Chains A and B, each alone.
Chain A
Amino acid sequence: DAGITQSPRHKVTETGTPVTLRCHQTENHRYMYWYRQDPGHGLRLIHYSYGVKDTDKGEVSDGYSVSRSKTEDFLLTLESATSSQTSVYFCAISSDRFSSYEQYFGPGTRLTVT
């Protein structure tokens, strides 16, 4: 398995609280991605990064921010969590943008906002 870990793996939080999810890789890949997966919607891209301090928005970026201060870490922050952000969040990495054969997904974080 590719060296991707996500933390925490499960989190329950209250509406209005800030939440930060962490993705850590040991593959030294340039690209990192955050997705959310919801029943009826499939996987949707939130944000991605193409290098340290280089990030861009995906399809569903509203309410989320990201930061990448080191190659190995990509943080996803919900500034003020809402119930609509209850989801499973996946981090992915690739050595080249999106269509690389080497896009690997992390194990996922299940977030519940009550």
Chain B
Amino acid sequence: EDKVVQSPLSLVVHEGDTVTLNCSYEVTNFRSLLWYKQEKKAPTFLFMLTSSGIEKKSGRLSSILDKKELFSILNITATQTGDSAVYLCAVEGYSTLTFGKGTMLLVSP
């Protein structure tokens, strides 16, 4: 059975801090790993990762995949209150897409 585990489950930081969110996985026939941000509505796409060691970057957010150790991290630098959300990791297998339970991030002013 495919499995995706995110840590920590929740996190509170101060504005300006840097945070690292973790996603480890076990999946048959790995195809890709995806990160989403979910505020009080539908998830919105952040990154798709397919190759090890290649950092994807968008503004203050970046992510990298390690296919040997089966994990990914999502970094957010200089956090802002608008970064408060649940961050979801999902892994695509041959015919499946499995989500983790998410990390709830709260950025306090």
- Chain A contacts to B: CB under 8 angstroms: 33, 40-45, 56, 58-59, 90, 97-99, 101, 103-108
Contacts and interface: CB of A to CB of B under 8 A. Distances in A.
B74 interface: no
A101 B34 CA distance: 9
Interface of B: 31-32, 34, 41-45, 48, 50, 88, 90, 92, 95-102
Nearest to A107: B42
A105 B96 contact: no
Given A42-B88, A101-B48, A90 B98 contact: no
Given A98-B32, A101-B45, A101-B48, A45 B101 contact: no
Contacts, number: 48
Given A99-B31, A99-B48, A101-B48, A45 B97 contact: yes
A103 B99 CA distance: 14
Nearest to B4: A42
Given A98-B32, A99-B48, A45 B96 contact: yes
Interface centre among A42, A45, A101 (most CB of B within 10 A): A42
B32 A90 contact: no
A40 B100 CA distance: 10
B98 A59 contact: yes
A41 B86 CA distance: 13
A106 B42 contact: yes
Contact of B101 (A41, A99, A108): A41
A105 B41 CA distance: 9
9 contacts: A42-B101, A43-B99, A58-B96, A90-B43, A98-B31, A98-B34, A99-B31, A99-B92, A105-B44
B99 A107 contact: no
